[in-house]
A and B are shown apart, each in its own frame.
Chain A
């Protein structure tokens, strides 16, 4: 990747409101003052890159990676796949994609999670992969369960998978969540509701994709991701060595 041009400014309107009272923890954790906006610098235009040699053979297989292949996790087997693109509709190749999620009962393997749904001894809950030259990625996992969480008196998280994507510049860094088509809890979730535009929220909802489902094995869901792009004009001030 030699293109290290200026990043297109982030359109904050399409992102969640930082302060959203129905999501109570956001109240003391959202800045009051405006962000300082300026054009990207080399600090944001360059970013950490990870090679395919980072990956173990089961890193993107959450059904098997916790036991290193000895025993499969419990749950509805699914493939989640898609492409990472930028705002210029170009694929983002060779970028790290990390996911984490609850098990089929809605329980996370985390010291802080005390929900009484049991841990699955064969499920860890994280995976990672690196996109190919076309920006494509895939994970094999189980469908995570919905779960209750302390917020308003009776709030439940819809089924979701957390995503972390790097891009090629630190300014492209993004963490988000993938939801599942048809889940009635999406419309009741104050975290999903932090996104003001319905069409933007819909972009986090992965459709069932029978073209990738494998008969007698797994269903598939498709989830494409778009990262910030770089400004491309013939009038950029290009300095060698930057």
Chain B
């Protein structure tokens, strides 16, 4: 026998299910009047510093069908690379946003400010990116990925550098479709499968 560790084990995940919106974006489910507004309705407030951008996309399953029931959350730094809560962070940047795939088209939209590069512990930087967490019916543990930008310097980013199959890097890069407009699709499985993260 050996001594017992006194650490605990994490609670296991379960799928968020098809009705996740009731808990996370109640007005999307048609539940009104419990809260003044949905949590995470806006990534930024008026007056946030930096370039305002809109990212549009869909989440596709292994058959190429766009999910109509996905719920997503984003988390990012402000234009100077500071996360909310860090000293000097832009008070107009909430950093966190919730959005859902449209029930008809399956398309989602995130309006936010383009994040700055984020300093790493021990030196170096991460290229500008937005963390995105996707949950839905059939997803048993939330899927984490990142949105990077094709018009930023992604060279040397510690996460992108670790992707062995270089064409897969493209699955994490939002494509510019217009001034302040980007496209970012998530493919859960199969050809062009998005790189999901275990961080």
Partner-B contacts on A (CB < 8 A): 7, 9-12, 14-18, 20, 23-33, 35-44, 46-50, 54, 56, 59, 65-66, 68, 85-89, 96, 98-100, 108-113, 124-128, 162, 164, 170-171, 173-177, 191-192, 194-195, 200-201, 203-204, 225-229, 237, 239, 241-242
Contact = CB atoms under 8 A, between A and B. Distances in A.
Interface residues of B, number: 82
A213 B145 CA distance: 42
A203 B11 contact: yes
A113 to B, nearest CB: 7
A98 B135 CA distance: 15
Given A15-B12, A204-B14, A30 B31 contact: no
Most buried by A among B9, B14, B133, B143: B14
Nearest to A7: B199
Contacts of A239: 121-122
Given A28-B63, A126-B26, A164-B24, A200 B189 contact: no
Contacts of A200: 9, 12
A30 B14 CA distance: 14
Contacts of A20: 140
B92 to A, nearest CB: 15
B8 A226 contact: yes
Interface in B1-41: 6-24, 26, 29-31, 33-36, 39-40
Contacts of A28: 61-63, 65, 138, 188-189
Contacts, number: 274
A60 B71 CA distance: 22
Interface stretch (B82-90, B106-114, B174-182): B82-90
Contact of B34 (A30, A47, A126, A241): A126
A38 B22 contact: no
A84 B7 CA distance: 14
Contacts of B135: 175
B23 A89 contact: no
Contact of B8 (A38, A49, A86, A113): A86
